[in-house]
Structure 1
Amino acid sequence: MDRRNFFKLMSLAGLAAVSPTVFAGRRPGAFKNPNLPPLAETYGGPLWVFLNAGGGWDPTSLCDPKGGKGPEDPEAMNHAFTTDQIEAAGNIRYPNIGTEDNPTAYQTFFDKHYKRLRVINGLDMQSNGHDSGSRHCWSGRLAEGYPSLAALIAAVHGHALPMSYLSFGGYDDTQGQVARTRSGNTGALARIAYPDRANPEDELSLFHSTVAGDLIRKAQEARKERLLATEQLPRVQKAVGNMYASRTGSNELKKLQQYLPDELDNGPNPLRRQIQVALAAFRAGITISINLDIGGFDTHGDHDANHIPRLINILDGLDFLWTEADLQGIGDNFVVLCGSDFGRTPGYNDTRGKDHWAITSLMMMGKGIKGDTVIGGSDERHNALNWDPKTLKQSDSGIHIEPRHVHANLRALAGIDGHELMKQYPIVIEKDDAMNLLA
């Protein structure tokens, strides 16, 4: 498929197709221009980071720990640790476990970051299906038809930016409100950023002369104006605008390349590479919200061996995000939310795995979020408890915390709750059920 048809199809689908690249022969972590400003002026922040644990994570092995009584406990919630291995950093409880290569992984993370971490436990997803659970987690609505919160934030604060919403996976429906940049291919960015070069890293290997390039751009602009003048339907006009935003977005990708490390992290944790691209795009002023994604949590068999290393990847990714952001001068200018489709069942099945369970947790950190706090909770078998909406204290006459309560608070934090677009996608909460989950 040639580039013109590629962009046309992507744009008509509401997409701008770009992705990160790795440039060989450069020092890891080095930037092409160390004198670049810490953040471009196009968008002042914060960057919104949504980290999706695809498949349904197990918060009883993370931030809502439930240990076993010992190796012979027939009803142990977890075999990987016992109740006496549950410790606390401030108000945040966690199991003090790790892997053979990193035995203190949990303790290191929670001791370092508990002051900025807020945990919501006993979150009722009202579903144990992958699609519905993921949709509920990231849009605030169980039924279909709502864009992700990341998409809404990008639509309000950066609709015209060609890379305002960058996604590596997870629930990233936009309902056509903003162009979404999906970044699954890590080798395409240079060619899209420099489509006029035979070799994207050689500025002299041009397909066309400078004069011819100017004529091509003028012809494209003229064609755009003719199309907009003849099309009357707003939907078609929007598609035309998205198509040309995708084309002109190559200039924005050149900005992105200025902020990328000379070589992206090539280690075993894919979150690190995603984070490097996210921070570069934010510093370049072209991205407002991003989906980070790591899968493999649907552990119906051999749960402990398969699940816990992936949870450690999440902790490593979060630590890497804060470390890199601080080094780049933007450590106080982003919000990160970490969640999943749902939780895992209490105890184990016949194959030492865990199945789907509707109760889960959400972890959040960053600008405007008070840390060292746990809201909500679950009983010893990971059933959601009821909470008084006003006092957030456990109450038999209270209600379950649901994603809609979380999203109402996050919309307010993002400054989009009063925007006209939210009328199309309302979060319905009765006055007596409203919860302040961020205070």
Structure 2
Amino acid sequence: MDRRNFFKLMSLAGLAAVSPTVFAGRRPGAIKNPNLPPLAETYSGPLWVFLNAGGGWDPTSLCDPKGGKGPDDPEAMNRAFTFDQIEAAGNIKYPNIGTMESPTAYQDFFQKHYKRLRVINGLDMQTNGHDSGSRHCWSGRLAEGYPSLAALIAAVHGHALPMSYLSFGGFDDTQGQVARTRSGNTAALARIAYPDRANPEDENSLFHSPVANDLIRKAQEARKERLLATEQLPRVQNAISNLYASRTGSNELKKLQQYLPDELDNGPNPLRRQIQVALAAFRAGITISINLDIGGFDTHGNHDESHIPRLVQILDGLDFLWTEAEMQGIGDNFVVLCGSDFGRTPGYNDTNGKDHHSITSLMMMGKGIGGNKVIGGSDERHGAYSWDPKTLQQSESGIHIEPRHVHANLRRLARIDGHDLMKQFPIAIEKGDEMDLLA
């Protein structure tokens, strides 16, 4: 399958791939893993999962709870729960609320997972705009021009893989550093995985005989080797390898098909289906980072009725991720970060909604993330406190925690902070302002 048809089939299947501008440098961290299918070079993990709550979530109704005195409290930060409904799981506070279908959803999640969960509260996004907030959250930079952290991780650890960066939405700019695959129709992956079949479900409906297919594959491999032998520049060699990966990617997508469940979850929570695809792609050895996405958080009206059920879906999705990963033998070989554009305003507007507010929270779990920890915080009206960068103790002469501090830590955790690519996209932190948020 040539490169043009590869991208064409992805488009028809509800997928989109962005061709990378290749950068020089070898692919570190690519080692064989006996727990995954035997590829020539298999990324050993972790899988990086970025869960985007699109629209601006309300952490005061989640991991930085601010209640009210009762239904008649005119200054209530939240009417869905009172101060005495705020409980704690270890060091992490949460409101003991839920939905009619899952009345104990919050309690069930936090009591089950608090030992794995790290929360950063009082995170200053420095904006209340959707595009800028989402970009700041996931790239570490407020202004345009930076790729998402997910894209950087995929570029360093697996830029030649056909689906190293899989996205269901949210901020997924790559700045041309890696191919991005956007998924809109997971059931249509079979057509990409089996482009040599007239009917993807029928293994006998081949366009070519097995002998002809084998000759095509050998000719492609031989041509790649000839081209590599005549080129000395690493940039050109990487471009040749990427072209070959695009032409042969369908073979690896067949592995994805093998790991997908017979039926994807058809329940009301879209995160479950996205997670099933993410884990299958990681186990198949073709995906390193993934954007999960769930919207509906821009609740300018009827905040409680609309917002809390979406937060419950996030908690359900995170629990589902851990459950599925353990069942499939992945254990904790993943990192998941859950964030949003910004937060919601203190109190309610005239339509019982909440508007845009620049202070928010970030939740993280997984490999290398110490749990049962809360860093930062906010006052009773959800204003950000200042912190001493060295001690992380509250200080009037300190600074706000910003996405750049978070991203500097995550780059180290992902083992990409020393890569040449980071010189193109540096994190702007002055000496003395560094924060160790993962200690």
Alpha-carbon contact 2:68-2:82 (below 8 Å) kept: yes
1:352 partner SS: coil
Alignment of 1:198-277 (within 5 A): 198-217=198-217, 242-277=242-277
Alignment of 1:267-346 (within 5 A): 267-346=267-346
Match of 1:6 in 2: 8
Alpha-carbon contact 1:11-1:239 (below 8 Å) kept: no
Alpha-carbon contact 1:127-1:133 (below 8 Å) kept: yes
Shift of 1:212: 3.1
Moved over 3 A (4+): 2-5, 7-15, 214-244
Alpha-carbon contact 1:164-1:289 (below 8 Å) kept: yes
Shift of 1:280: 1.2
Distance in 2, matches of 1:239 and 1:387, equals 46
Match of 2:133 in 1: 133
Q: Give the direction of change, closer, same or farther, for the CA distance of 1:38–1:144 in structure 2 (3 Å limit).
A: same
Match of 2:95 in 1: 95
Distance in 2, matches of 1:39 and 1:220, equals 26
CA deviation digits over 1:14-41, x for unaligned, max 9?
Answer: 49xxxxxxxxxxxxxxxxxxxx974346
1:134 partner SS: helix
1:39 aligns with 2:41: no
Length-normalised TM-score, structure 2: 0.89
1:169 aligns with 2:169: yes
Match of 1:186 in 2: 186
Alpha-carbon contact 2:9-2:192 (below 8 Å) kept: no
Distance in 2, matches of 1:298 and 1:66, equals 19
2:317 partner SS: helix
Q: Give the direction of change, closer, same or farther, for the CA distance of 1:200–1:117 in structure 2 (3 Å limit).
A: same
Alpha-carbon contact 1:57-1:340 (below 8 Å) kept: yes
Letter in 1 for 2:36: L
CA deviation digits over 1:129-179, x for unaligned, max 9?
Answer: 111100100010001111111111111111221111111111111111111
Match of 1:420 in 2: 420
Worse-superposed segment, 206-215 or 69-78 = 206-215
Alpha-carbon contact 1:376-1:392 (below 8 Å) kept: yes
1:131 partner SS: helix
Alpha-carbon contact 1:49-1:290 (below 8 Å) kept: yes
Length-normalised TM-score, structure 1: 0.89
Match of 2:396 in 1: 396
Q: Give the direction of change, closer, same or farther, for the CA distance of 1:95–1:4 in structure 2 (3 Å limit).
A: closer
Unaligned runs of 5+ in 2: 22-32
Alpha-carbon contact 2:18-2:181 (below 8 Å) kept: no
Unaligned runs of 5+ in 1: 16-35
Residues matched between the structures, number = 418
Q: Give the direction of change, closer, same or farther, for the CA distance of 1:4–1:115 in structure 2 (3 Å limit).
A: closer
Worse-superposed segment, 220-229 or 206-215 = 220-229
Q: Give the direction of change, closer, same or farther, for the CA distance of 1:158–1:130 in structure 2 (3 Å limit).
A: same
Match of 2:370 in 1: 370
1:67 partner SS: coil
Letter in 2 for 1:183: S
Alpha-carbon contact 2:140-2:403 (below 8 Å) kept: yes
Identity %: 85
Worse-superposed segment, 6-15 or 105-114 = 6-15
Shift of 1:284: 1.5
Worse-superposed segment, 207-216 or 52-61 = 207-216
2:150 partner SS: helix
Letter in 1 for 2:383: N
- What is the CA RMSD across the aligned residues, in angstroms? 2.5
Alpha-carbon contact 1:11-1:246 (below 8 Å) kept: no
